[in-house]
Copies of this chain bind each other. A is one copy, B any other.
Amino acid sequence: MKYLSFFIFSLVMQAAGYADDGYRLWLKYDLIEDPALLKMYRSGIRSIRLQAAETALTASAVRELTTGLMGLLGKAINSTNKPASSAQIILSLSPPGGVINHEEGYRVVKDKSNIRIEALTDRGLLYGSFALLAYLQQARPLHALHLESSPKIKLRLLNHWDNPNGTIERGYAGSSLWKWYDLPDQPDPRYRDYARTNASIGINGTVVNNVNASARFLSREYLVKVAALASIFRQYGIKTYLSIRFTAPTYLDGFKTADPLDPAVRQWWKEKAGEIYSLIPDFGGFLVKANSEGEPGPQDYNRTHADGANMLAEALATHGGIVMWRAFVYKANPNNDRASESYNEFKPLDGQFLDNVLVQVKNGPIDFQPREPFHPLFGAMPRTPLMMEFQITQEYLGFATHWVYLANMFKEVLDSDTYSKGPGSTVARIIDGTVDRHKLNGIAGVANTGSDRNWCGHIGNQANWYAFGRLAWDPDLQTGFIAEDWIRMTLTRNTADVDVIKKIMMDSHEACVDYMTPLGLHHIMGESIHFGPQPWLARSGRADWTSTYYHRADSIGLGFDRTEGGSKAIGLYAPEVQAQWKDPETIPLKYLLWFHHVNWNKKLNTGNTLWEELCKRYYSGADRAAGFLKAWQNLQGRLDPEIYSAIEGKLKRQGWEAEWWRDSCLLYFQTFSKLPIPGSYPKINRSLDELKQLVRLYQMR
Contacts and interface: CB of A to CB of B under 8 A. Distances in A.
Interface in A1-45: 1, 4, 7-9, 11-13, 15-19, 21, 24
Contacts of A67: 15, 17
A694 B220 CA distance: 10
A71 B16 contact: yes
B700 A214 contact: yes
A653 B12 contact: no
A649 interface: yes
A399 interface: yes
Contact of A12 (B12, B174, B215, B450): B12
A8 B16 contact: no
Nearest to A186: B649
Contacts of A140: none
User: Among the interface residues A70, A185, A189, which one has the most CB atoms of the partner chain B within 10 A?
Assistant: A185
Counted per complex, copies of this chain come to 2
Interface string A368-405: 00000000000000000000000000000001110000
Contact of A186 (B1, B216, B652): B652
A193 B216 CA distance: 38
B12 A222 contact: no
Interface string A648-679: 11101100100000000000000000000000
Nearest to A657: B181
Contact of A181 (B4, B215, B400): B400
Contacts of A649: 182, 185-187
B13 A4 contact: no
Contacts of A701: 214-215
Contacts of A21: 189
A416 interface: no
A453 interface: yes
A573 interface: no
A642 B24 CA distance: 18
Interface string A597-625: 00000000000000000000000000000
Contacts of A646: 186
Contacts of A1: 7-8, 11
A221 B8 contact: no
A181 B182 CA distance: 29
Contacts of A15: 4, 67, 70-71
Interface in A166-188: 166-167, 172, 174-175, 181-182, 185-187
Contacts of A700: 164, 214-216, 251
B697 A451 contact: no
A219 interface: yes
B182 A653 contact: yes
Contacts of A187: 649
A697 B650 contact: no
Contacts of A450: 175
Contacts of A9: 12, 16
Contacts of A698: 216
A531 interface: yes
16 contacts: A1-B8, A4-B15, A8-B12, A16-B18, A17-B67, A18-B18, A167-B167, A174-B451, A175-B450, A185-B650, A185-B652, A186-B645, A186-B650, A190-B453, A451-B451, A451-B452
Top 10 closest pairs, chain A to chain B, by CB = A186-B649, A185-B652, A185-B649, A175-B175, A185-B653, A216-B700, A174-B175, A174-B451, A216-B697, A214-B700
Interface of A: 1, 4, 7-9, 11-13, 15-19, 21, 24, 67, 70-71, 164, 166-167, 172, 174-175, 181-182, 185-187, 189-190, 193, 214-216, 219, 221-222, 251-252, 399-401, 450-453, 531, 642, 645-646, 648-650, 652-653, 656, 694, 697-698, 700-701
Given A1-B8, A15-B70, A185-B653, 10 more contacts: A15-B67, A21-B189, A175-B450, A175-B451, A186-B646, A186-B649, A186-B652, A187-B649, A221-B697, A451-B452
